[in-house]
A = this chain, B = another copy of it.
Amino acid sequence: MDQVEIFKALSNKTRLQILTWLKEPAENFPEQPNADFENVGVCVGQIQIKAGLSQSTISEYLSILQRADLVCATRVGQWTYYKRNKEGLEKLTQIINSEL
């Protein structure tokens, strides 16, 4: 993954917020009946409601974050759950500390 793409993914207010929300799912989203926040994350619909942007925009934003290895997705039935990608975020810290 290109470093520039990682920073581009982070250079949008809504996408940054999504990442902060996903750091503390239980504080930021209502209970999910069928899925555990820790295991699979939060479904697109909940993120969309919280962000207040259109469904298509949020779907796109999540895939931008995913391409940058900042979140990871799990499909369960008709839902896609997104959660923080710990490894990707650690790698980002390393890039900043070692290259910039």
Which of B11, B97, B100 sits near A8, CB closer than 8 Å? Answer: B11
Task: Name the CB-closest residue of B to A99.
Answer: B20
Complex Cα gap A70–B16 (Å): 19
Chain B residues lying within 8 Å of A93, measured Cβ to Cβ, are 93, 96-97
Task: Name the CB-closest residue of B to A2.
Answer: B13
Which of B3, B13, B23 sits near A16, CB closer than 8 Å? Answer: B3
Q: A4-B16, A20-B100 are in contact. List 7 more A-B contacts (CB 8 A).
A: A4-B10, A7-B10, A11-B11, A19-B100, A20-B99, A23-B99, A89-B96
Chain B residues lying within 8 Å of A16, measured Cβ to Cβ, are 3-4, 7, 100
Complex Cα gap A11–B3 (Å): 8
